[in-house]
Structure 1
Amino acid sequence: MEAYLQRLGLNLEFPFVLIVAGLIWVRALAMISVIPFLFGKATPRTTRLGTSVILTIFLYPILVTPELSVAGIDTLELFVLFFKEVLIGLTLGFAVSLPFYGFQAAGQMIDNQRGVSLARILIPELGEQVSISANFLFHFAVVVFLVIGGHRLFLKAFAESYLILPLLEFPPSVAGLLPVMDLFGTMTAKVLFLSVQLAAPVIIAILLVDIILGVANRFAPQINVWELGFNVRGYVGVLLLFLSIGLIGNQIVHYTGESDQEVRTMIRLFKEKPKEVPPEQPETPLEKPHPIVPSP
């Protein structure tokens, strides 16, 4: 059996298997610990560990090649390699999780305008308390994401990250961090735009309700505008939220495709080599013009 596996190119040396499988497992575990749609904080640690081990078992035969060798790797270099895998896993997991935080922020904005932001529910996947609409939009985004197969796209991109970012190689530090930080800034701006875009119809409608109630209070001071407005804002917010549920679903589909492309772009940016800046040429002194000698 051992000879057969050796002919297939699978190295069975214990240090080699331990290092390579450990690097694969660390990146998978870091990714699983962050993404909310797959597991999140609500899942027991044993389940997360088991799933990361299963991913490692599936990826190990694909990633191990006869050219792969751990000879010459010292302890410090091995520690840096494991740190690199943790960083890559957390980065990819956080990148695909950003749209879900955008939907959660939109629900928080809606409840702030409705005046029910103090009513909070625990989201086990994130381990924090949010408002009712934020909890609804977050889980609605997770359900739609799973129904359209977004998790399969992400897992495929995650598996391809091992081919673009090999286990035993270091990405260029300068070129790998600055473009990634710039992409993170762009993605964060898109999330903010998404949350405002989804919450804008409800916010505008509640603003119009406040204006109408203010005018009504001007002409009929005996009306209890504060109590009436609290109820009207709540009903209007819930009504518009459910009327725009189709728009929210379309946005989830749209941002799922964008998130997949951004994750792939981020993986490529880690591998990108720094651009060579041509050396500055020394400035040549300007030649003094020759004096014009008048002809005799």
Structure 2
Amino acid sequence: MDELLSNFPAFLLILVRVTSFFLMLPLFSYRTIPTTFKVGLGFFLSLVMFWGMDVPVLTIDTSYYFLILKEALVGLLIGFAAYMLFAAIQIAGGFIDFQMGFAIANVIDPQTGMQSPLTGQYLTIIAMFFLLASNGHHLLLDGIYYSYQFIPLEQPWINLGNGELAEFLIKTFSLMFMIAFQMSIPVVGSIFLVDVGLGIVARTVPQLNIFVVGVPIKIIAGLVVLFIVMGVLMSTVSHLFSSIVTTMRGIMNILGGAG
């Protein structure tokens, strides 16, 4: 405890980075998790990290407040990179819902408080269970722990000025849409073929009201294909988790000036 009191400024910086990281991180940032639990988890995780690393001796002066701002920005940026890629699951669900006709039936996601597509919410819940079952949340916590190897506590600056960070975030943004496209293309492509078939039927059998028949056929076809390719989707989600870890490491390299 004496060590904690003598190095309290360094512990406070660790706490700022960890809690800022939790503000953006998938699963840990959800509003259904009580705030007291988030603060307590951040505190005890910061305590474990404090005892597991060599912390510098810092004093609370003018430069110390800039270190606090730097730590908060580092935690937010690393968490934002992870959240951006995880949002690919919601985007893939939006693509699927648009083709199936569910785009008008968005629901309120209780975790984030925002509107969410039905299929996107379904896939997100399954991906979250898969993340917990495969200990992916441990990898996310490892990311914030090993971030101190790239961006030390006493480093007074982060690399924001040469455009590498903006370029990296743009590439991550494009990767998010690419992963969403890969996840949704089996269902979207199958429903497109159903649309083509319905168009041929509408031309050959004009007596049939294709607008009445087509909607339930597309929904049934979409659900059947989604059930068939669910294993492939979870394989893509596992690659998504690997991409999240790689992206977090890349943004740490850039912020630490080693990009």
Contact kept, 8 Å, 2:4 with 2:11, in 1: the verdict is no
Contact kept, 8 Å, 1:172 with 1:273, in 2: the verdict is no
Paired residues for 1:69-148 under 5 Å: 69-71=57-59, 74-75=61-62, 77-148=63-134
Counterpart in the other structure of 1:12: 5
In 1, Cα distance between equivalents of 2:53 and 2:163: 28
The Cα of 1:265 is off from its aligned counterpart by 2.1
**1:173 is aligned to 2:159:** yes
Q: What secondary structure does 1:261 align onto?
A: helix
In 1, Cα distance between equivalents of 2:258 and 2:236: 34
Counterpart in the other structure of 2:46: 56
1:239 to 199, 224, 244: 224
Contact kept, 8 Å, 1:165 with 1:171, in 2: the verdict is no
In 2, Cα distance between equivalents of 1:46 and 1:55: 14
Counterpart in the other structure of 2:182: 197
Deviations 1:233-263 (A, max 9, x none): 1111111111111111111111212221221
Aligned Cα root-mean-square deviation (Å): 2.0
How does the TM-score come out when normalised to structure 2?
0.92
Deviations 1:42-78 (A, max 9, x none): 212111111111112111223354xx2224x533x22
- Greater relative contact order (Cα < 8 A, sep 6+): 2
The Cα of 1:39 is off from its aligned counterpart by 4.1
The Cα of 1:168 is off from its aligned counterpart by 2.3
1:207 to 158, 178, 192: 192
The Cα of 1:184 is off from its aligned counterpart by 1.4
In 2, Cα distance between equivalents of 1:204 and 1:150: 30
In 1, Cα distance between equivalents of 2:5 and 2:221: 65
Q: What secondary structure does 2:115 align onto?
A: strand
**1:163 is aligned to 2:149:** yes
Contact kept, 8 Å, 1:32 with 1:40, in 2: the verdict is no
Contact kept, 8 Å, 1:30 with 1:89, in 2: the verdict is yes
In 1, Cα distance between equivalents of 2:258 and 2:224: 52
1:266 to 223, 232, 251: 251
Contact kept, 8 Å, 2:88 with 2:179, in 1: the verdict is yes
Contact kept, 8 Å, 1:36 with 1:126, in 2: the verdict is no
Report the residue type matching 2:61 in the other structure: D
1:32 to 13, 17, 22: 22
Report the residue type matching 2:115 in the other structure: Q
Contact kept, 8 Å, 2:179 with 2:240, in 1: the verdict is no
In 2, Cα distance between equivalents of 1:110 and 1:11: 52
Aligned length in residues: 259
Q: What secondary structure does 2:31 align onto?
A: coil
In 2, Cα distance between equivalents of 1:238 and 1:193: 22
The Cα of 1:172 is off from its aligned counterpart by 4.5
1:11 and 1:239, CA in 2 relative to 1: closer, same or farther beyond 3 A?
closer
Report the residue type matching 1:112 in the other structure: F
Counterpart in the other structure of 1:280: none
Runs of 4+ in 1 over 3 A off after TM superposition: 171-175
In 2, Cα distance between equivalents of 1:211 and 1:157: 46
The Cα of 1:79 is off from its aligned counterpart by 2.3
The Cα of 1:28 is off from its aligned counterpart by 0.8
Unmatched 5+ residue regions in structure 1? 275-296
Q: What secondary structure does 2:5 align onto?
A: coil
Larger Rg: 1
The Cα of 1:99 is off from its aligned counterpart by 2.8
More helix per residue: 2
